[in-house]
Each structure stands twice: as C-alpha cells, then as structure tokens.
Amino acid sequence: MILTPNTPAPDFNLYATPDQRLKLSDFKGKKVILSFYPADWSPVCSDQLALYNETLNMFRKAGAELLGISVDSKWCHLAFSQDRKFHFPLLADFEPKGAVAKQYGIYNNDGGEAHRALFVIDEDGIIQWSYLSPDGINPGADGILDALDQLNNGKN
C-alpha cells in the first residue's frame, strides 16, 4: 500500500552521484517532491522526467526540491541525467534493490522496479500528498503543483 498523507516520510540514504549520497533528512525545513519511476531510458519515464525538468522552476518557486528515484544504478543515472540534461538529482534505490520503494509501499515485486508514484513532503518530513500512477502513463505535473499550492496556501 502506498504511503498516505499525514504519514512521516521514511528517511533514506541513496547515491545521487557515483561518489555522493543524499538523505531525505538533508532537506529538513524544505518541501520535497519524490518522483519514483520504473526505469531510466524508458519512453514514459524519459517524458515524465523531461517534463519535470521543464517545470523545475515552478516547483522551486513553490519552495520545493525534486528528487527522482528508481532502482537503476548510480552509473545508469549519471549517464541518463547527463544525456537528458536534468537539473535535479536521480537517486539510486539499487542495493538493496528497491528498499526505499518498499518503504513507501510502491515496489513492484513482479517487475523488480518501483511503480510510478509521486509524493509531496512538507518541511517537517510529513507526506502531504501521494499518488500512484499507472506505470505506462505519465502523471504530469498538475497534481504536484496543486498539492504545493494547497500546502503553501494552508501555511499562510
């Protein structure tokens, strides 16, 4: 079961580059968007992450940082990110495979990868919005932007 709003977001410590790791707790005090996706290089994932790269300024204007997560390796992420010129980290949920996706309730045991899922986490590390998308469909950015608007308007 996908983690639902008002649930504390499980911390993680994953490779963002071949020699640098990121923890969710590194972003304490900031809003975070987690975008779990099945695989680098797949057509739907490529389109989804390209859209988020184009929407990144809107996410940041809303005070949020974006993190992409899949079970691909740090080296695969590096090649994919450089090729597509992404301006946000891709985190490797590689070893143990899918451990973070399992914590968030979105690991696909049959396929051995994460389902396509989105989470918006507030400054205190609490999930405020989550969405499990069909794996073959790009969920777009509207749900994320709406969740950030609600979060920002609720705090004013």
* Catalytic residue IDs: 45
Q: What is the DSSP string of 56-106?
A: HHHHHHTTEEEEEEESS-HHHHHHHHHHHT-SS-EEE-TTTTTHHHHHTT-
Token pair of 137 as six digits: 């469909």
